[in-house]
Amino acid sequence: MSDYTAPLADMRFALEEIAGISEIAQLPGCEQASADLVEAILEEAGKLASGVLAPLNRVGDKEGSRLENGVVRTPDGFKEAYRQYVEGGWNALPFEPEHGGQGLPMVLATAVLEMWNAANMGFALCPLLNVGAVEALTAHGTAEQQRLYLPKLISGQWTGTMNLTEPQAGSDVGALRTRAARDGDHYRITGQKIFITYGEHDMAENIVHLVLARLPEAPPGTKGISLFLVPKFLVNGDGSLGARNDVRCVSLEHKLGIHASPTCVLAYGDSGGAVGYLVGEENRGMECMFTMMNNARLNVGLQGVAIAERAYQQARDFARQRVQGRPVTAKTAGTYPIIHHPDVRRMLLMMRAQTEAMRALAYYTAGAIDRARHHPLSETRARQQRRVDLLIPVVKAWCTDLGVEIASTGVQIHGGMGFIEETGAAQHLRDARIAPIYEGTNGIQANDLVGRKLLRDRGEAARELLADLRAIADRSESAMGEDFAAITAMLGAGIDALEDATAWMVATGGADLPRALAGSAAYLKLMGIVVGGALLAQGALAAKTRLAASASDTAFHQAKLATARFFAEHVLATAPSLAPAIKGGATTMSFDLEGF
């Protein structure tokens, strides 16, 4: 029912005009990202996404993964799709060439990852988690661990998982109880982990678990946590597979969405202890975990973009064919599809404009990661890294909250059909709902933004960001026409509000942290809206320049101006009104807990 076509024109536009991929391709280590290669990759990824992965999305939802005698069977077609994905070399795209990666820029990998998630979020979770394992081993693994595991994780022949959560230890990782005991050159792991995405499945010959556990006599809390590599099958020195390790999937969760993705309860050490290998140093597991989680947060934010795009395409296609009622805009007799109704257009534009703003923010942040890694000037690298650190929680939380909202609007556009599962619109809402929760709830992202990112440098990175946003607003002010007049007014007020709120947060956070944190979600939303709106304005400026330079793609570029203006009127306009919520923490914190 629901088709997906990768929005290549929109993606190219965001890559070029928002993230600056041509500039990134000039950086040392990024040279192979030539315009031709980028184009070829986008085209081919789009084919795999729409031709292979998207048609399995509904199957995945209906069948789900099933646990049968300790073996997890993925839905029909997933194994074969994964084989195609690996054989196409797609898994290796973002990784360093040293162990077989293609070494392409993060920003390009981000666009490609958007396609996998839009096509089939339940499928895409498997490679998404694998990224964390690769990054942890790349940063903290021994040479031998890297030699044995990285090439196969990078190719996708094996997959990786992240094992953090236990029943009593969700967001509070420090409360975990899984134990590790030294046993010669390795360790023995015992305990139970929950919520392990693709913790067991039939798409790859081996699964490499990265497991947080506690050594005997380790200090309590997060300072006593170490990271271990625990393969499903032990690996011989020549890379061949050895004995089955002592880790078993004991059950799968029955979830609201992402049914294709098996969410496993894993039991370690029921038969004496699973063999594990230390990654990094003892009791320094949290650092390794943050390495795994940081890009994972960007990638989860991207799921919000992806599911919004998917929901938008489905709602648009439905609105174009569903005939119902005579719209007030109808000038002639005959039948009209519901896309002619003003409120349906409003909903579609709300979906579209916000999706473009989110994509702009996500690609922009991915581009900053490339610059932070590859820019020749250390000062620029440091500045870009500050930008990344600041924006990662915004990408994660703002985009995933909007992903849910937009998928919900997608259901609404379908009317009664939206509530019927066969239509497929409801699946997007169900799938989207996990993204604000995992990889650190959005509340934790807001706390991270204010409590760590903003307070640790007393707002410096935020002020650098504000200066860049002002530059966009200034350029918008100089541009002619009604659209830019409207955009400039809303953007200017939004930047003022963000500047004021940032100063308030920095001042208040030191004196009364609970009060600041009570306003942190509203502050994060404000930052998402203002940065998203500014990046759409930057896109509109680029579109205007292109319109003046060439007569091709006129409609496409005019639409960029229109969505930027729509976003300004419908979303940016609300930015200053968030101030009382941002600063209203006293009301929240003084509410009597017994009064709830």
Catalytically active residues are 439
> Exposure string (b/e) for 547-582, b if CB count within 10 Å is 16 or more?
beeeeeeeeebebbbbbbbbbbbebbbebbebbebb
Asked if 562 contacts 486 with a C-beta cutoff of 8 angstroms, the reply is no
Asked if 231 contacts 245 with a C-beta cutoff of 8 angstroms, the reply is yes
**Residue indicated by tokens 């005009």:** 17
**Residue indicated by tokens 């200066």:** 467
Asked if 155 contacts 231 with a C-beta cutoff of 8 angstroms, the reply is no
Distance from chain centroid for Cα 126: 14
**Residue indicated by tokens 């898994």:** 91
Measure the CA–CA gap between 298 and 186, rounded to whole angstroms: 33
Q: Which is nearer to a copy of itself, 164 or 204 (CB)?
A: 164
Tokens describing residue 473: 């607003």
Measure the CA–CA gap between 240 and 319, rounded to whole angstroms: 54
Q: What is the 3-state secondary structure (H, E, C) of 344-381?
A: HHHHHHHHHHHHHHHHHHHHHHHHHHHHHHHCCCHHHH
φ/ψ of residue 277, rounded to 5: -120, 135
Measure the CA–CA gap between 260 and 57, rounded to whole angstroms: 8
Measure the CA–CA gap between 455 and 512, rounded to whole angstroms: 12
Other C-beta atoms lying within 10 Å of the C-beta of residue 274 = 30
Half-sphere exposure of 555 (CA within 13 A, CB side): 0
